[in-house]
Amino acid sequence: MSEIQFDGKTAVVTGAGGGLGKAYALLLASRGAKVVVNDLGGTFDGKGVDSTPAQKVVDQIKTTGGEAVANYENVSEWAGAQKIIQTAIDNYGQVDILINNAGILRDKSLLKMEIADYLKVIEVHLNGTFFCTKAAFAHMRGQNYGRIVSTASAAGVYGNFGQTNYGAAKMGIVGLMNCVCQEGARYGILANTIVPTAGTRLTATVMPPDVIDKIKPEYVAPMVAYLSSELCQVSGKIFSAGGGYYSRAAIIEGPGVFFDPEAKITPEMIAEQFEQISSVEGGREFGSAMEQTGHILSKMSV
Ligand code: NAI
């Protein structure tokens, strides 16, 4: 197989001052991409700002002969997101790849969760992903090409204690990307979602140091680079990556049960058939909401 290269392509990586985003930026730059290294800086829980992390990554890329420019805007502000994308346009004339990666944590159990902490996490992850995607999409549509990789989490896909804000934001991103996938299809814009696992300052809050050292962000980066490449042709999919493990996660709908809608359907009928209704054995994925509705309608007319 020929090597995957990004010559002539411009990538925006948000939150690329450290952790996973830094690994993505370094890999893409090492393979020829011009990279906008965005990072607001600040603490893992979203306090303060610091231009040092983004600048350091840019310096590292330039030292090894790559091309990069730093940006310190906040993804969770619409004006900031527009400036992030404009940095790519001003410096390199285009934006081909957007990696929505910036993120923070403010974990608390539901009853202890401050409303401000709920909203802040939604703003950075979900609004930030929406804003950057919207700003980049305009340019990608104009050039009939784009690759968008956004970041969910097992906490959203599968749930985790103390992360209602984060889980909601991360699963919101899956829904957002499922719809961006539909809107981008006719313009060559592909949108996928990554569920990473890596030792970073975020996971250092919940994982022991020896585990943190073992599961390096560099193990996630090849998957993200593939999804960012011309070679990639899938869209609207969720991929897990971490510690050398790469897999696809999916939302499956079981074959279910069809009752005659003209007859009276009672809660007792649901109870009686609940095992079959709950089973996903022999289930399937739907490519869009319209496909799922079409499936229901086709069964009704039988
Ligand atoms: P990290 O803390 O090392 O990196 C996140 C970066 O985003 C930081 O450099 C931070 O300054 C930046 N950032 C935060 N808010 C920002 C804002 N408003 N605007 C611009 N930049 C901002 O953490 P890590 O682990 O590398 O996280 C990257 C992404 O992966 C996050 O979205 C996180 O939720 C997600 N994730 C990470 C997992 C892991 O195992 N490390 C697991 C699941 C998801």
Give the C-alpha separation, 107 to 116, whole Å: 12
> What pLDDT, on the 0 to 100 scale, is given for residue 100?
99
Q: What is the pLDDT at residue 261?
A: 87
Residues taking part in catalysis:
166
127 ligand 1 Cβ < 6 A: no
The CA 270 to ligand 1 mean position distance, Å, reads 43
Q: How far is the CA of 205 from the centre of ligand 1 (A)?
A: 13
Q: Which of 197, 189, 284, 173 has the alpha carbon at shortest distance from 232?
A: 189
Residue bearing the CA closest to ligand 1, atom 31: 103
Ligand 1 atom, smallest distance to 53 CA: 9
Residue stretches of the chain with pLDDT short of 70: 301-302
pTM: 0.98
According to the model, what pLDDT value does residue 143 have? 97
pLDDT at 302: 52
Nearest CA to ligand 1 atom 19: 74
